[in-house]
Structures are given as structure tokens and as C-alpha cells.
């Protein structure tokens, strides 16, 4: 009878140790915790103050690399965890001549102000909808990363190593998204 109790106690101790080890595996910093950017092979996530950049990636080229002067989609979702509206006011990279905002097949526009309401989100994930576009690429290869800097009106700046996807992925629309909003024009000073 005593050996059964000892066996049960040993089994319980081993089970407890294994449970604690598994819990510890997921306790590292996450992008939402203000830790370093988190990336997978095909995208990166990061925080800039209250702003969260999610699933940031460059679309895969149809060849091994983009030809000099090609354009490519830069896709991401922006979430605002703060209590006030903030705005994406600029995007830059040395890998392209410029970064523009495109709404479907419409004319490109400079990224001067994309407003994200308090606790809202804006999806720039759809090539047929609103998205950012890298214009005039040079030296961009499938499976590599490029440095891209995102500037926000209040949250500040963040430079990410953004993956160039190795293959095309189907686009999944967000569960909920705030309509794309431009910042109101500033009133002239008296």
C-alpha cells in the first residue's frame, strides 16, 4: 500500500514539473508587450507607442527578384490601442524611390496622413483596396528583408526589417476595420 502512495506522489510531482515547464515556454516578450518586433518567415509585427503594426510584409515577386524600377505592395494592419486618434504620417525605405498610398486601381497619393481612431484599426492588406505601394524598387529579392520606417503623428517612429514574401498568400479581410480616413486639412494660421 505504501508503494502505491509513493508512486502516485512521484507521478504527481513529475506532472507538476512538466506543466510548469510548458507554461514557461510561452512567457517571453511579445510585440504587444512592448518587446522587440516579432516576425515569422513572411511578416513582422511591432508596436510604436499605442500603435500596433501587424502582419507587415512586401508581396512576393513573380520572379526571384523584382526588376529595378518595379513596384510592389507593402501590406499591413494598423491598430490603435490608445484613447486618442493617431495617424500614420510617413513611410520611407532605401529599397524604393518612394512609398505611396493606393486605393484599388486609383491614382497613387503621398502617405501624408492616414488617421486611426482611438481603439480602431485600419487594414492596408488588400491589393484591390487601400494599401501602400513601394514605387521604383531596387535590389529587392524574394525571401529577404528590407528596412522600412513608419512615422506616426503622436507615437513616433519605428524602423522594421520587413520580409519580402517567398510566395503569394490569399488575402483574408479583417474581422472589423475602420474605413480609411485621411486627416482633416490643417487650418491656416492667422
Q: Which region, left, alpha or beta, applies to residue 119 given φ > 0 means left and ψ of -120 to 50 means alpha?
A: left
Can you say whether the dihedral through the CA atoms of 113, 115, 116, 117 is positive or negative? positive
Q: Whose CA is closest to 123, among 180, 171, 49?
A: 180
Q: Which of 10-14, 29-33, 64-68, 83-87 has the lowest mean pLDDT?
A: 29-33
Sketch out the chain's domains with CATH numbers.
36-168 (2.60.40.1890)
* pLDDT for the residue numbered 29: 37
φ, ψ dihedrals at 128, nearest 5° = -85, -5
Phi, psi of 23 (to 5 degrees): -65, -40
Among 12-16, 139-143, 145-149, 180-184, the range scoring the smallest mean pLDDT is 12-16
- Tell me the DSSP string of 119-149: T-EEEE--TTSEEEEEEEE-S-BTT-EEEEE
Higher-pLDDT residue of 47, 173 = 47
Amino acid at each position: 500500500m505504501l508503494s502505491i502512495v509513493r508512486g502516485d506522489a512521484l507521478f504527481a510531482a513529475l506532472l507538476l514539473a512538466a506543466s510548469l515547464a510548458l507554461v514557461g515556454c510561452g512567457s517571453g516578450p511579445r510585440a504587444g508587450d512592448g518587446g522587440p518586433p516579432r516576425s515569422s518567415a513572411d511578416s513582422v509585427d511591432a508596436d510604436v507607442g499605442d500603435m500596433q503594426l501587424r502582419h507587415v510584409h512586401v508581396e512576393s515577386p513573380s520572379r526571384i527578384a523584382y526588376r529595378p524600377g518595379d513596384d510592389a505592395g507593402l501590406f499591413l494592419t494598423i491598430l490603435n490601442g490608445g484613447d486618442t486618434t493617431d495617424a500614420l504620417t510617413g513611410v520611407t525605405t532605401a529599397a524604393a524611390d518612394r512609398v505611396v498610398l493606393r486605393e484599388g486601381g486609383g491614382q497613387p497619393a503621398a502617405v501624408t496622413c492616414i488617421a486611426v481612431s482611438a481603439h480602431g484599426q485600419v487594414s492596408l492588406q488588400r491589393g484591390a483596396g487601400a494599401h501602400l505601394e513601394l514605387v521604383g524598387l531596387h535590389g529587392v529579392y524574394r525571401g529577404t528583408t528590407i528596412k522600412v520606417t513608419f512615422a506616426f503623428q503622436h507615437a513616433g517612429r519605428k524602423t522594421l526589417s520587413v520580409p519580402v514574401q517567398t510566395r503569394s498568400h490569399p488575402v483574408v479581410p479583417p474581422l472589423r476595420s475602420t474605413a480609411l480616413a485621411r486627416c482633416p486639412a490643417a487650418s491656416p494660421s492667422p
